[in-house]
A and B are shown apart, each in its own frame.
Chain A
Amino acid sequence: MVTWSNFFSQLFNGLALGALLALISSGLTIIYGTLGVLNLAHGAMFMLGGYAGYVAYERSGSFVVALIAGTLFLLVVGIVMERVIIRHFYKRPPEDQLLVTFGLSICFVETVRYFFSSLSKTVPAPAVFSGITNLGFMFYPTYRLAVVGIVALALIALFLVLYKTRLGLIVRAGIEDSVMVDSLGVNVDRVFMLVFGIGAMAAGFAGIVNAPVVSLAPDMGEAILVQTFVVVVIGGVGSFPGAVLGGLVAGEIISITSMFNPGYAYVMLFAAMALVLMVRPHGLLGVKGRE
């Protein structure tokens, strides 16, 4: 199957795949970079966003409403989660943080399973983006093309928040040295809450954007979580540009490998991660000394 036309098709497909991975991973990496909490519930939050969007879609019939509802719902979930549970774990050992977020993810998944069963749920793509587009070298689902644009906009928005606002300045400073930021009199507590909320919101947004591509199921977050970890490790833990780059690299690796032998697509992804860890232990865009 190694032909030029397939190569370009796969190259392009890798971009689309990578864009989604980048969006999901950016939420994970911001939370980890700022708060030092590795959020194992991130996959479940991605799933929750999808289901919240699904419920909103069923009620309203509008994809835009679903998008807003899914995103806001996760902002609220994130803030509540941080205030009620996560903040008590900032000073506890990392394994406690892993366990509490992992436990939360089980609660989220099984709650959704209880109400919606395991049967998959579908949110159709908005009418303007339904159908297939002829790219010349291949036919591609129009909605997936739109996803690339939507994700690009979302990533730009995140970029602006992180690099052009006071909050972003504090967040980035916090990633580098949270003790120093604290001692400079910044209210780290409130910033942490907002960061967790924004990270959750990114997961929720990705969840509903992804829903027309991959229909919803309660444990869909599990596989995504593993992939986002790979993306974050490749890109550099805690690095927002790293998550974007890592996502695109991962998307291309999966796509291009599957052109030669699909059975090795994920093997190559993990091999690439191992290689990055050996050559650049802090990831492609990571910086030594970050927590």
Chain B
Amino acid sequence: MKDRNTTMHGRRDFMRAGLTVAGGLALPAGFATRAFAATRGPLGTWPAGVEGDTVYIGAAVPRTGAYAVQGEDELKGMQLAVEHINEGHELVRKIAPRLKKGVLGKKVELLVADSGAKPNEAVQAQQRFINENKIIAMTGSTSSAVAVALNKFAQRQKVLYLVAISGSNDTTGKDCARYSFRQCFYGQTAASAIGPVLIKNFGKNKKAAFMTPDYTYGHTVTKSVNDYLSSHAGWQMVTNQVSPLGTSDFSSYLTNIANSGAEFIINVNWGRDAVLSIQQAKQFGLTPKMKMVIPYQIPFLAKEVGPELTEGVYAATDFWWTLEDKYPLAKMFVEAFDKKYGYRPEWGANNAYMQFAIWARMVEEAGSFYPPDVIKAYEKGETFESTVGKVHFRAADHQLVRPVIIVRGKKPSEMRNKEDYWEVTEVVPGAPLMQKPDEFGCELGDYT
């Protein structure tokens, strides 16, 4: 009987890992150490995590589920960055000039777990990495629900969090954190960048149907885009089709859109949901009659649905490989990535790579792994080189000020090679696109 009980325990763990039954998310109280008086008392995983020759970064990326394709790409960006950091590669040193080999002479190692794009699984994985490996920083997310959960977790644990893909306004808005930093673009900047392009190309007073995934990313991006288009050009949201993350059959949503009189489909769905909704919109004959717009680009979208379906589609994105013609660092990155993995990186990989390189820079600038020192290095807001030109962090909400790239899907006949899906039509400077740092209610929280 005793034996049976022990095996049952193992089985339960197994079931929990796979079945998506949302159990109670009971986190250990954690060891956010309260250091009195001493200014350099232990904090989070510091100094335990930096005592050896190696420092660890924990990554919880989706390798299964609706965002698995994007998670793998993101992971490759991280792995390349770690390799470059450890060998003192030229590209990393353009971003982090003080870096030699490793960060402050320490080798960086990446620990990886599958989050399935689920917040509780991501937090559990990071908790394990903190307990077992004393990770000095954590990363991962392709869902803002994960990013927001890790923001809070990072703040509580006092371990830095390098946000991976996250498009919600909340990540550096109402759910921002002192211990979290975001490189990529987000709802507000996406909307202000793609809005003028849509108005210029298609005019005023249009009817748009929105397709929105039902979580923080979807709702904030839809709101930002709709606010922009309605206030600047009188566009009207005729319907908003909200679907759960991981929807596979969009027929009932598309039927509503077919009956809505919309001229545009503004599709905020992401990952596999975007692929399926775009394919099915075509099956239902909605496109190309209605024009598809993608305010928050999805890595590998064109590859998965085929260039016939992305032809003429406008999208806002973080990075596209043809930027190599414009930015020397982009060229170095694309070449290094292509050499290692045999394809040109998508924006998730660029975001991940940049986040690691920036982190290495900030630690080197601070001359210490002590979290408040590193955070203050970010908050100095110094300008540095990136794969999309000069960028800097905003101290008040920890958002990188960086351009948003507008792309348009090429005709299959215009493609110069098999990965030449998008044409960069504009690189929109970041600063004017951004809201005031406190507009979305960001309060960063404490350093210690």
B247-283, CB under 8 A of A: which get 1 and which 0?
Answer: 1110111011011100000000000100110011001
Q: Which residues of B contact A213 (CB under 8 A)?
A: 249, 280, 283
B251–A219 CB distance below 8 A: no
Q: Which of B255, B256, B279 has the most CB of A within 10 A?
A: B255
Q: Find the A residue at minimum CB distance from B251.
A: A13
- Distance of A107 Cα from B403 Cα, bound (Å): 43
Contacting pair A17 B251 (CB below 8 A): yes
Tell me, in angstroms, the Cα distance from A139 to B259 when the chains sit together: 10
Docked pose: A1 CA to B304 CA in angstroms: 31
- Chain A 243-275: CB-based contact to B (< 8 A → 1; otherwise 0): 000000000001100110111011000000000
- Alpha-carbon distance A149/B242, docked complex (angstroms): 30
A106, A141, A258: the one within 8 Å of B252 (CB): A258
Distance (whole angstroms) from the CB of A188 to the closest CB of chain B: 28
Among the listed B214, B252, B255, which residue makes an inter-chain contact with A138, where contact means beta carbons less than 8 Å apart?
Answer: B255
Please determine whether B275 and A95 come into contact, CB atoms closer than 8 angstroms.
no
Tell me how many residues of B have a C-beta within 8 Å of chain A: 42
Say if the beta carbon of B227 comes within 8 Å of chain A: no
Q: How far is the CB of B15 from chain A (nearest CB, A)?
A: 7
Say yes or no: B246 contacts A223, CB within 8 Å: yes
Q: Is the CB of A99 within 8 A of B258?
A: no
Specify which of A138, A262, A263 lies most central, judged by the most chain B CB atoms within 10 Å of its CB.
A262
Q: Which of B69, B214, B306 contacts A263 (CB 8 A)?
A: B214
| Minimum C-beta distance from A214 to chain B (A) | 5
Any B CB within 8 A of the CB of A196:
no
Shortest CB–CB separation between residue B241 and chain A, in angstroms?
5
- The A-contacting residues of B in range 278-328, CB under 8 angstroms, are 279-280, 283-285, 300, 303-304, 306
Residues A254 and B284 in contact, CB atoms below 8 Å apart: no
A215 touches B279 (CB 8 A): yes
The verdict on A9 contacting B69 (CB below 8 Å), with A140-B284, A141-B284 known, is: no
Minimum C-beta distance from B28 to chain A (A): 27
Q: Does B36 contact A (CB under 8 A)?
A: no
Query: Interface-forming stretch among A53-61, A117-125, A201-209, A280-288?
Result: A117-125
Choose among B64, B252, B304 the residue that contacts A13 (Cβ–Cβ < 8 A).
B252
Q: Which residues of B contact A75 (CB under 8 A)?
A: none
Contact A214 B65 (CB under 8 A): no
CB-CB under 8 A from B18, the residues of chain A are 102, 106
CB of A93, distance to nearest CB on chain B (Å): 10
Q: How large is the interface on A (under 10, 10 to 19, 20 to 34, 35 or more residues)?
A: 35 or more
Known contacts A9-B259, A143-B283, A219-B64; is-contact A99 B252 (Cβ 8 Å):
no
Q: Are A6 and B255 in contact (CB under 8 A)?
A: yes
Contact with A along B14-25 (1 / 0, CB 8 A): 110011100000
Q: Is the CB of B252 within 8 A of A262?
A: yes
Task: Find chain A residues with CB under 8 A from B272 CB.
Answer: 120, 217
| Interface flag for A3 (CB, 8 Å) | yes
Minimum CB–CB distance from A115 to chain B (whole Å) comes to 15
Contact among B259, B283, B306 with A144 in the assembled complex (CB-CB below 8 Å)? B283
Q: For residues 1 through 28 of chain A, which have their beta carbon under 8 Å from a beta carbon of chain B?
A: 1, 3, 5-6, 9-10, 13-14, 16-17
| Bound-complex Cα distance A219 to B15 (A) | 16
> Among A214, A262, A263, which residue has its beta carbon within 8 angstroms of that of B256?
A262
- List residues of chain A with CB within 8 A of the CB of B253: 258, 262
Residue B236 lies at the interface, judged by CB distance under 8 Å to chain A: no
Residue of A whose beta carbon sits closest to that of B70: A118
Q: Is the CB of B241 within 8 A of A119?
A: no
B11 close to chain A: CB less than 8 A: yes
Q: Does B244 sit at the interface, judged by CB under 8 A?
A: yes
Q: Is B275 touching A120 in the complex (CB atoms < 8 A)? A: yes
Residue of A nearest to B17 (CB): A106
Residue A220 is within 8 A (CB to CB) of chain B in the complex? yes
B276 touches A215 (CB 8 A): yes
Which of chain A's residues have a CB closer than 8 A to the CB of B64?
109, 113, 118, 218-219
**A157 is an interface residue with CB less than 8 A from chain B:** no
Does A13 lie within 8 Å of B255, measured CB to CB?
yes
B434 at the interface (CB under 8 A from A): no
Q: How far is the CA of A144 from the CA of B243 in the complex (A)?
A: 21
CB of A214 within 8 A of CB of B276, answer: yes
Beta-carbon contact of A1 and B252 below 8 Å: no
A132 at the binding interface (Cβ < 8 Å) = yes
Within 8 A of B (CB), among A96-140: 99, 102-103, 106, 109, 113, 117-120, 122, 132, 138-140
Q: Which residues of the partner chain A approach B275 to less than 8 Å between Cβ atoms?
A: 120, 215
Contact residues, A203-241 vs B (CB, 8 A): 213-215, 217-220, 222-224
28 contacts between A and B (CB under 8 A): A1-B239, A1-B256, A10-B256, A13-B251, A14-B252, A95-B11, A99-B14, A106-B18, A118-B63, A118-B69, A119-B303, A132-B284, A139-B284, A140-B284, A214-B276, A215-B275, A215-B276, A222-B20, A222-B65, A258-B253, A258-B255, A258-B256, A259-B256, A262-B241, A262-B243, A262-B252, A263-B214, A265-B252
Instruction: Give 3 nearest A-B pairs by CB, closest first.
Output: A118-B68, A6-B259, A263-B242
Q: Which residues of B contact A (CB under 8 A)?
A: 11, 14-15, 18-20, 63-65, 68-69, 72, 214, 239, 241-244, 246-249, 251-253, 255-256, 258-260, 272, 275-276, 279-280, 283-285, 300, 303-304, 306
